[in-house]
């Protein structure tokens, strides 16, 4: 009986690990839609809602990742950052990484 319980716990642990892996493999395009990024930066990431909002398609991935981290933490803060900051509450660092890598491949 004890063995069966141990096995059940192990199976549950593996299953939750797999769910975690799937979540981290979420692709950038899906995140870009789901986290509302497109509403300001444009569906193609280069036709922003406002002329003074940045175009992201093809920008350097590490640069974008760092900007997102800085906007979220408040290290980067200017007149326009407020619009972006609220959304950063919806993404964790892993998702920012995925988004930055995907955006860099867009043209």
User: Which residues contribute to the site for ligand HEC (CB under 6 A)?
Assistant: 35-37, 39-41, 53-54, 56, 59, 64, 67-68, 76, 78, 80-81, 83-84, 87, 91, 99
Closest separation in Å from C-beta 24 to ligand HEC: 16
Q: CA-to-CA distance for 97 and 2, rounded, in angstroms?
A: 42
Of the pair 18, 34, the CB lying nearest ligand HEC is at: 34
Distance in angstroms (rounded) separating the CA atoms of residues 100 and 71: 14
Q: How far is the CB of 44 from ligand HEC (least distance, A)?
A: 14
CA 27 to chain centre: 9
- Residues 45, 56 contacting (CB under 8 angstroms): yes
Q: Rounded to the nearest whole angstrom, what is the least distance from the CB of residue 102 to ligand HEC in the complex?
A: 9
What are phi and psi for residue 28, nearest 5 degrees? -55, -40
Q: Looking at beta carbons only, is 16 or 42 nearer to ligand HEC?
A: 42
């Amino acid at each position: 009986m004890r063995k069966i319980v141990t096995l059940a716990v192990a199976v549950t642990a593996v299953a939750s690990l797999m769910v975690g892996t799937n979540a981290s493999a979420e692709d950038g395009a899906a995140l870009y839609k789901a986290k509302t990024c497109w509403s300001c930066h444009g569906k193609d990431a280069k036709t922003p809602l406002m002329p003074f909002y940045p175009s992201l398609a093809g920008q350097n991935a590490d640069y974008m990742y760092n900007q997102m981290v800085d906007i979220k933490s408040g290290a980067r803060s200017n007149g326009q950052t407020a619009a972006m900051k609220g959304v950063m509450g919806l993404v964790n660092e892993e998702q920012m990484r995925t988004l930055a890598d995907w955006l860099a491949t867009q043209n």
